[in-house]
Amino acid sequence: MLDYGVSIPLFPLNTVLFPGMMLPLRIFEERYKAMIKECMAGDNVFGVVLAKTRQAQAPNVAQLFSDDLYSVGTTARITAVEHLQDNKMNLITVGQERFIIKNIKASDDDFIVGQVDPYPLSDRYNALQMENLVGRLRPMVQEYIDHLADASGEDLSEATLPTDPKALAYLAGTAVQGPLPDKQQLLASDSLGQLVVKTVNVLDRENKILAYMLKAYQAHQQIQKLPFVDYSLN
């Protein structure tokens, strides 16, 4: 568990990491090699945060401002390391808990260090309200998985959905192929109820888009099967 005001290394990425979800990474920049070595000498934890601007991932982080990063991120725990040639590394990490950035500074090795506070979800909904919300969310997650299976041709029938509402919403947030700012809004939700409502809204839109795209693709496939008729006058 994070303490209030604790300082942790921050890794700005073009992805949103949700608690409980896995994130594989390849480490090749010298500053992030130094960051990972420092993490592995300690508690194996660093913070993943969505980059808001290109400057967030550029060298010379001393010129970085807090506005270059989204303020809510997730701690990542290193669970496996593969050392490669040229001193590169493959990592397997798992999201742990949310945090909110209070301020940032540059380390001596030119990676970002953030002073952060834990950012747990509050619970503003009673048990009946939450049951109703999850009753809407679960079939929408299943519908999205079914669309992905149809699009990829893979058999996902064995996929088991979490029973915990938070884990279900975070799984949906990871799986959905929507814009990164939408994923970030899910991660930054104030309460569990707000998280579930936002996830329902995102899935409603994405399911409609995927259904339309699949119908269009299937129609195209049917047209491709029609016999070719040459109407030229030659």
Mind listing the pLDDT tens digit for each residue in 155-177?
877 788 999 999 999 999 999 98
Domain boundary among 118, 140, 169: 118
CATH of the domain at 62: 2.30.130.40
On whether both 96 and 24 belong to a single domain, the answer is yes
Q: Which amino acid is at 230?
A: D
| pLDDT at residue 220 is higher than 60 | no
On whether both 188 and 105 belong to a single domain, the answer is no
On whether both 135 and 112 belong to a single domain, the answer is no
The pTM assigned to this predicted structure is: 0.88
Residue 126: per-residue pLDDT: 78
Residue 226: per-residue pLDDT: 61
Pairing of strands 112-118, 89-106: antiparallel
| pLDDT at residue 233 is higher than 70 | no
Pairing of strands 112-118, 72-83: unpaired
Comparing C-alpha atoms, which of 199, 210, 82 is closest to residue 146? 210
Look at the chain and report how many structural domains it folds into: 2
Residue 216: per-residue pLDDT: 76
Residue 161 falls within a domain, yes or no?
yes
Structural domain containing residue 108: 6-118
- What Cα–Cα distance (Å) separates residue 54 from each residue in 66, 183, 186? 13, 18, 22
Q: What is the DSSP letter of 193?
A: H
- Contact by Cβ (8 Å): 96, 37: no
pLDDT one-digit tens code per residue, 26-70: 999 999 999 999 999 999 999 999 999 888 887 778 778 778 999
